[in-house]
A and B are shown apart, each in its own frame.
Chain A
Amino acid sequence: MAIVRVQSGDFDVGRELEALTAGRHDVGAVASFVGLVRDANDGQPIRAMTLEHYPGMTESALEDICAQAHSRWKLIETLVIHRIGPLAPGDRIVLVGTASAHRGEAFAACEFIMDYLKTRAPFWKKEDTPDGGKWVDARESDDQAAQRWD
């Protein structure tokens, strides 16, 4: 099943991945992705970042993405934690975890969830640059990454 959380606070990657399989003996593989705030984007330094989202739709979009992953692969658990609000370079933004019997499903589903999250979940990044606040533009490469799962 899917666990989805949208929160302003940080998360403990080890603890979250451990909880994903606690008490189970049918999981043979856990894959995970952690997204972090970089200190530069397109050659421009980033001092901080703010993540805006659409409360309500964000959670349902993430649940829908996980449900699609469960229908495409044989998965035991999926987890998405995404942070909102002010973040600094080095901060964790997102954690995706997938658990399955064998590694193939866990790897593929983890990448699929991130690709769909990037293009379908209503989050928007605003970077604090030396020139002032700048909304991040969507990338064509993210659309292409999501389209390969069509």
Chain B
Amino acid sequence: MVTVLYFASLRESLGVSREQVSLPPGTPTVSELLDALRSRDGRWPEAFAPGKSWRVAVNQQMASLATPLRPGDEVAFFPPVTGG
């Protein structure tokens, strides 16, 4: 299992801020976790559709689709940042 967090517009459109998600078997990466999320109902493929801009962090460090995941990791998806 990994903890998945969602922030800002992504959190609002998905209606969830935090959840536990089972990791796909093998040596999963962010890309495979995302495939599992996209296979859910309509809101999920919509939120992560091609052309939608989002970022991912693993254990609070900026990450990419190729970043490997381990049980217990904290994975966060969020839109491009707009602070300052």
- The listed residue (A52, A56, A120, A138) touching B53 by CB distance below 8 A is A138
Give the chain B neighbours of A54 by CB distance below 8 A: 5, 7, 57, 60, 76, 78
Instruction: Indicate whether A2 reaches chain B with its CB closer than 8 angstroms.
Output: no
Q: Which chain A positions have C-beta within 8 A of B7?
A: 52, 54, 122, 124
Range, interface on chain A? 20 to 34
**CB of B47, distance to nearest CB on chain A (Å):** 13
The answer to whether A135 touches B84 (Cβ under 8 A) is no
Residues 5-30 of B contacting A (Cβ, < 8 Å): 5, 7-9, 12
Complex CA–CA separation, A121 to B62 (angstroms): 10
Q: In the complex the two chains form, is A122's CB within 8 Å of B78's CB? A: yes
In the complex, which residue of chain A has the Cβ closest to the Cβ of B62?
A120
Chain B residues numbered 52-75 whose CB sits less than 8 Å from any CB in chain A: 53, 57, 60-62
B79 in the interface (beta carbon within 8 A): yes
B39 at interface by CB-CB < 8 Å: no
- Interface bits A129-146 vs B (CB < 8 Å: 1, else 0): 000000111100000000
- For residue A96, give the distance in angstroms from its CB to the closest CB of chain B: 9
